[in-house]
Structure 1
């Protein structure tokens, strides 16, 4: 995702404009971070997308938020997907992690005669549960058929 320099006059306005959209960006980015935490990189990606939309569409339109929220969600999904695919977990490349998780799932399915839980796969592979979840997420197809996080219950 492209970085925006807030001191550059061509970047979408003054620093106050960036801070005005920060609460919306934080709220949307929390949907894509683990345990409801705030990931500054995701917030910055969301703010940059909002500022680009503001520059193109104009924030004074009555339907600006309705138009910008889907754009931000798509940008955050893309950002998360690029970040997941661009890293390795525990020194193992994601392709090896994916293959290990799939093989363990198959083996446990044959033994248990049901789909194994994340905890069972993690125990079988002797790794942390978050690594198993990362391996599973990396195998999900991008786009409409992929993983869509459910909104948190209030």
Structure 2
């Protein structure tokens, strides 16, 4: 009677594979990381996607990277959207912040005779630059439909 091999070497292979694909994952996740997000979470999401694709497709295919990069980008977008949805409502920018930024921009534009930079607005409001950027981003339209609907109403 033969003895069954009960040792599982997959965990060792997964660790080696994860380290091998980490530079690609870091490069791709850097495009999707914002000031408030954890870079490591995005890298882990990218590495997991690459390792899963490696298991399914195999790396011997010459077009492996061409096939895996769009998969990773979609996974990172989904992960970023999940992070935004999990963010508490208190962390989302308030209309008061947007109004304060608009007022500060107006005041600084009059004084400087040019559009103020983010750093100047942040100094004027005594807050961090990333908070000003978040407030500015919150005021932008959320997609292409909002631009067309505004153009049609005016």
TM-score bracket for this pair, using the shorter chain length: 0.5 to 0.7
Select the structure of larger CA radius of gyration. Answer: 2
Distance 2:137 2:78 in 1: 13
Q: Residue 120 of structure 1 aligns with which residue?
A: 120
Residues 98 and 139 in structure 2, CA contact (< 8 A), matched pair in contact too? no
Structure ranking higher in helix proportion: 2
Are 2:37 and 1:41 aligned?
Answer: no
- Cα-Cα RMSD: 3.7
Report the CA distance between 1:48 and its aligned residue: 0.7
Report the CA distance between 1:21 and its aligned residue: 1.2
Matched residue SS, 2:87: coil
Q: Residue 94 of structure 1 aligns with which residue?
A: 92
Pairing of 1:1-154 with structure 2 (within 5 A): 14-33=14-33, 39-87=39-87, 92-96=90-94, 99-111=95-107, 112=109, 115-137=115-137
Q: Name the CA shift for 1:40/1:144 in 2 (closer, same or farther; >3 Å).
A: farther
Provide TM-score, normalisation by structure 2: 0.61
Alignment coverage as a number of residue pairs: 131
Q: Name the CA shift for 1:110/1:131 in 2 (closer, same or farther; >3 Å).
A: closer
Residues 25 and 43 in structure 1, CA contact (< 8 A), matched pair in contact too? yes
Report the CA distance between 1:115 and its aligned residue: 4.5
Q: Which sections of structure 2, spanning at least 5 residues, go unmatched?
A: 1-7, 146-154
Q: Which sections of structure 1, spanning at least 5 residues, go unmatched?
A: 1-6, 146-154
Matched residue SS, 1:14: helix
Q: Name the CA shift for 1:82/1:23 in 2 (closer, same or farther; >3 Å).
A: same
